Amino acid sequence: MNYIIDAIISWLIFLFGVAAPFYLILGVIGIGGFREITKYEVYNSFYYKLNPAIKILFSVVVMIIASMVIWWISALLAIVILLSYTSLRNGRRKAFIGSMFLLSVIIGTTWSYAPLTPPAILSIAFPHQTTFLDLWKWPSYFAIMGYQPYLTLQGLIYGVQISFRFAAVTIAALILVMTTTPSQILKALHKLRIPDPIVFSLMVAMKSVPMVFESLDTSVKLQMLRGLGSDRSKYLKPIFMLIAGLSAIVPTIVHLMRGAKDIAISADTRGFRAYNRRTYFVDIPMTRTDYYMVGLFLAGIGVAGIMLALGFGRAIPYIS
């Protein structure tokens, strides 16, 4: 009897890690929410006025700092950036979607690391601890999935710490997408000497991201209209949304590919890549604020470097 109860609890814990991010992504954020945080909308607050190159640099700097410093600094960084979403158009809504996305990243990453991280790695991450607190013993056959015999508290903490390294960068990168038009990015990347074919691919990708979510959303809703999951409990809705989302991938790709050819023809027949260089009618100048931001970035990296040199806030070991 105990064996059965243990198995049920083990599978529930396992499923929580799989289902919770899906529930947050599909049930709370929804495809429409994803479209909102991947689409440019006109507004006039701080981020919108920054030079696109500075916003690209911002993501890079956040990535550098998050990889260098102790996890809680990354977490702090992620929360501060998330709070700054409130300055965007429909800021509160975007901050809410961003926080749900952040939570799904944290849960998903934690569950990907916690049960799989061997004690040897945990010993490096937690050098001052000789024993780890076992929270749950997995059934032996979970080893097939690479699971360690026990789920430990330290494993969970380690998973959370790792997740913030991804979270801060992801939250920062979305700011670029939400506050910059594709053509502004084209100009910025071109000035940074990135080759035009790569820049154009990025530009088309940026233009396509909201369309991807829009098409997926339409396809999912069409399946619901046709009766998918209609006779099931509403609590199972996220699962049917996931099924519908997976089924929608192929028609969405085909639909977008048909459009992508037109985009390529439209650009090529207007002389795209006619010459190695191109001119720009509307230039995006570097403003004083942009230079201040560069200063702030340098200071941030500098402070992180100094603190690391002084032995404070090092990324490894994870807990000082």
By CB under 8 A, tell whether 227 contacts another protein: yes
Query: What is the nearest approach in angstroms of another protein to the Cβ of residue 24?
Result: 16
| Beta-bridge mates of residue 136 | 151
**Alpha carbon 171 to chain centroid, angstroms:** 6
* Secondary structure string (H, E, C) spanning the chain: CHHHHHHHHHHHHHHHHHHHHHHHHHHHHHHHHHHHCCCCCCCCCHHHHCCHHHHHHHHHHHHHHHHHECHHHHHHHHHHHHHHHHHCCCHHHHHHHHHHHHHHHHHHHHHHHCCCCCHHHHHHHCCCCCCCCEEEECCHHHHHHCCCCEEEHHHHHHHHHHHHHHHHHHHHHHHHHHHCCHHHHHHHHHHCCCCHHHHHHHHHHHHHHHHHHHHHHHHHHHHHHCCCCCCCCHHHHHHHHHHHHHHHHHHHHHHHHHHHHHHHHHHHCCCCCCCCCCCCCCCCCCCHHHHHHHHHHHHHHHHHHHHHHCCCCECCCCCC
Q: Cα 149 to the chain's mean position, in Å?
A: 30
Identify the residue among 17, 139, 259, 313 touching another protein (CB under 8 A). 259
Site string for another protein, 48-87 (x = CB under 8 A): ----------------------------------------
Q: Which of 1, 5, 282, 310 binds another protein (CB under 8 A)?
A: 282
219 binds another protein (CB under 8 A): yes
Longest C-alpha distance within the chain, in Å? 75
Paired strand residues for 150: 137
Would you count residue 270 as binding another protein (CB under 8 A)? yes
Position 248 contacts another protein (CB under 8 A) = yes
19 Cβ contact partners less than 8 Å away, ≥ 6 residues apart: 238
Q: In angstroms, what is the minimal distance from the CB of 8 to another protein?
A: 30
Q: Which of 228, 294, 308, 319 binds another protein (CB under 8 A)?
A: 228
CB of 260 to another protein, least distance (A): 8
Residue 45 is a binding residue for another protein (CB under 8 A): no
| Rounded least distance, CB 192 to another protein, Å | 17
Pick from 133, 222, 299, 303 the residue near another protein by CB under 8 A. 222
* Residue 238 binds another protein, judged by CB under 8 A: no
Can you tell me which of 34, 40, 158, 213 binds another protein, judged by CB under 8 A? 40
Region from 73-81, 124-132, 140-148, 254-262 binding another protein, contact rule CB under 8 A: 254-262
**Out of 10, 20, 34, 36, the residue judged to bind another protein by CB under 8 A:** 36
Compute how many residues bind another protein; rule: CB under 8 A. Answer: 56
Q: Which is nearer to another protein, 7 or 28 (CB)?
A: 28
Which residues, 187 to 206, sit near another protein by CB under 8 A? Answer: 203-204
What minimum distance in Å lies between the beta carbon of 296 and another protein? 27
Could you say whether residue 258 binds another protein (CB under 8 A)? Answer: yes
Which residues contact another protein by CB under 8 A? 32-33, 36, 40, 42, 93, 181-184, 203-204, 207, 215, 218-219, 221-231, 247-248, 250-252, 254-255, 258-259, 262-275, 277-282
